[in-house]
Amino acid sequence: MSLSNFRNYASLELDLPPGPTIVRGGNGHGKSNLLEAVYSLAIAKSSRAGLERDLVNKASLENLIDGFSYAMVGATVLSKESSERLEIHYRSQLSENEDGFTTQKFIRIDGIPKRSSDLVGRLNAVLFSVEDLELVFGRPSTRRRYLDILLSQVDRKYLRTLQQYQRATTQRNHLLRSIREGLSVPSELDFWDDQISNTGSTITAERVKAVRSLSENSRPLHSEISGTNEKMCCKYISSSDIQSEDEPSLIEKSMASAIRNARNRDIAQGSTSVGPHRDDMKIMIEETNAERFASRGQARTAILALKFAEARFLKGKRGSEPVLLLDDLLSELDLVRREKVIRHTAEYEQCIVTTAEINSVPGTLLKEANELEVIDNTIRPSS
């Protein structure tokens, strides 16, 4: 793993061996930044920053090279068959925006320039963090993004279809506003309606299958982690009156009909009201929406089950184990759930755990783990 001018790390070279690795250090010292860097190589963007320039070490802007500053996240990913060098480069230059600079992102795989979509899925990883409660209590867009990231890691066709769908929806929304203003006619919507129902049905069908798999895998995990008889499941909620057992062809017909029926309303609103960009996934406990009724403890357990189900989904689809990234999670759990979580992480070849409280790490993990410490904006073996 190599970091250059990424977040608080001016320069870092780090070997992360198979098995568990514990990274300990005080809050705000950069533990989460390391996991953010690893996960960014899996999904080709930050899980935390809204803008690329938020990732750049601001001190690097004081030493420009030909008017630019450079940052990089890179890792050599080893598998049984091969190895690949994955890199994300950030080039910044001074500008007149509120931060004083702009940043561009460039992808390289084995030194060859590539698109972001080419990077997604080369490294599979599952990130556990305290922010995961948003999957229960947050907005539908958070859960849609979760499903899209998951599916994009295992299916490049899904990612391409998602990009096509987003472009079609943007174009349709522009046209809807133009029609509302009397500058276009409704018949011009026919082309974009077909595009949205075609690509949207593919997205919906894949999401429905993924949610079904997550639900089936999370149910026994939830029972085991919670130690209760409470039953958990996940449900896909469609804006197009689609049933979860529908075939893709039926989904496309249902979506086309729903888009057609919503045309007048969409013109009035100037936006598309039907399609996967309006769908949701609900986490249910005892057939009740966890968003409305679950305690934080119940929600935390449900999310743990969901995340381990995600790891099983990735392993099943890719045929190789994802890297597990646990970001300051153990201190949020009681002793019994800590032990259960660590027992499940042992099923995977590589796991990186960050903590500010070493006492929150079960002894069974401490005995086996490679232990690192964050000190003075660098990471080194723990003394």
Q: What are the pLDDT digits (tens) for 51-105?
A: 898 899 988 888 888 889 999 999 999 988 889 999 999 999 988 877 778 999 9
What b/e readout covers 7-20, taking b as 16+ CB neighbours within 10 angstroms? bbbeebebebeeeb
Residue 371: per-residue pLDDT: 96
What Å distances lie between residue 281 and 135, 240, 317, CA to CA?
9, 14, 21
> Is pLDDT of 345 > 80?
yes
Residue 245: per-residue pLDDT: 61
Kindly report which listed range (5-14, 191-200, 247-256, 318-327) carries the lowest average pLDDT score: 247-256
Chain CA centroid to CA 327, Å = 14
Q: What is the pTM of this model?
A: 0.94
d(Cα 121, Cα 156) in Å, to the nearest integer?
8
Coil vs helix vs strand at 206 = helix
CB 116 within 8 A of CB 107: yes
355-369 mean pLDDT: 93
d(Cα 39, Cα 17) in Å, to the nearest integer?
17
309-338 mean pLDDT: 94
Task: Please tell me the CATH code under which domain 131-319 is placed.
Answer: 1.20.1050.90
Helical segments of the chain, H only: 31-43, 116-119, 134-137, 140-154, 156-180, 189-226, 248-261, 263-269, 290-293, 296-318, 335-345, 363-368
228-233 mean pLDDT: 95
> Is pLDDT of 272 > 90?
yes
Coil vs helix vs strand at 282 = strand
What string of DSSP letters covers 135-181?
HHHS-HHHHHHHHHHHHHHH-HHHHHHHHHHHHHHHHHHHHHHHHHT
276-298 mean pLDDT: 96
> Is pLDDT of 246 > 80?
no
Q: Which helix (H) or strand (E) holds 3?
A: strand 2-6
Residue 98: per-residue pLDDT: 76
Beta strand 280-285 pairing with 232-237: antiparallel
Residue 244: per-residue pLDDT: 61
Residue 95: per-residue pLDDT: 84
CB 3 within 8 A of CB 72: yes
Which two three-digit tokens encode residue 28? 């705000």
d(Cα 277, Cα 268) in Å, to the nearest integer?
19
156-174 mean pLDDT: 97
What Å distances lie between residue 138 and 126, 177, 217, 233, CA to CA?
19, 29, 22, 18
CB 349 within 8 A of CB 77: no
Residue of 26, 50, 37, 32 whose CA lies nearest to 3:
37
d(Cα 55, Cα 6) in Å, to the nearest integer?
6
241-246 mean pLDDT: 68
Q: Which helix (H) or strand (E) holds 327?
A: strand 323-327
Q: What are the pLDDT digits (tens) for 112-128?
A: 999 999 999 999 999 99
Chain CA centroid to CA 357, Å = 26
